[in-house]
Amino acid sequence: MKSYLAAAVQMTSVSDLQRNLIQAEELIDLAVRQGAELVGLPENFSFMGEEEEKLAQAEAIAQESEKFLKTMAQRFQVTILGGGFPVPVGNGKMHNTALLVGPNGDELVRYEKVHLFDVNVPDGNTYRESLTILAGLRMPPIYPAKDLGNLGLSVCYDVRFPELYRHLSQMGAEVLFVPAAFTAYTGKDHWQVLVQARAIENTCYVIAPAQTGRHYALRQTHGHAMIVDPWGTVLADAGDKPGLAIAPIEPSRLDQVRRQMPSLQHRVFI
């Protein structure tokens, strides 16, 4: 693992696939021009609309999203995480899939979101992800990127389940991805503290791309894509507009924190 710059992309995706991909390409290009070698896109980066509309277009969204990620990674010679897009599985269901692609355009690893957001939010909005999304059955993977460290995947609502991240740290994770489309209501109180907690308790870097603003109907997201270091320090925060959070990933900082706070070695119940 070497020192490098990572970027967490912040978008306002809508129900227009091509428009979203144009926005994503512009932000990837901006990240690369600023020196980023690892770029994370948020959940729903390629499509964010009504679930019925997403299901109707799922095949096209899945194909175009994968093609886009592989093309961008190869063109810019960087590693890119597509933080969540629908992949149809039949019977009116989809997997919410995160895909990691390497600089040569090859798929490195994928993860199908296991925790589904079925919540009545106090602001009056109701979310039932399970109506169209089929939960994944496997714990998220680690990808041992030689220069970038051991990368652990997750998606949005997963951040509320610390056992998932403990699994990733036990598998050797050094950098955790938390791509999200956090609701505006829950995000204002919970987003930053949850991202910091996952970093602190696992002494890992966390790269958390995000959706921001209004997308359709009443759907509004919190924003504040961020990168947090293993001590829990917020290194970069994208605020509430589309843009980037960029920060260095430093192996020396990771080693320092893990020496000073060796909590992973002090676990009693494993």
Active site residue 67: no
Q: At what angle do helices 17-33 and 58-76 cross, to 10 degrees?
A: 20
Q: Is 127 exposed, middle or buried (0-12, 13-18, 19+ CB in 10 A)?
A: middle
DSSP string, 34-97: TTEEEEEEPTTSS--S-HHHHHHTHHHHHHHHHHHHHHHHHHHTSEEEEEEEEEEEETTEEEEE
Strand, coil or helix: what is 28?
A: helix
Does the annotation count 250 as an active-site position?
no
What is the Cβ-side half-sphere exposure of residue 223, based on CA atoms within 13 angstroms? 18
53 is catalytic: no
Count of other CB atoms within 10 angstroms of residue 227: 29
Backbone angles phi, psi at 139, to 5 degrees: -60, 150
- Among residues 43, 64, 112, 174, which one is catalytic? 43
Residue 145: partners with Cβ closer than 8 Å, 6 or more residues away: 38, 79, 102, 108, 151
Which residue is catalytic, options 66, 113, 174, 204?
113
Burial degree of 103 (CB within 10 A; 0-12, 13-18, 19+): middle
Question: Could you tell me how many residues make up the chain?
Answer: 270
Find the catalytic residue in 66, 156, 174, 204: 156
Q: What amino acid positions are annotated as catalytic residues? A: 43, 113, 156
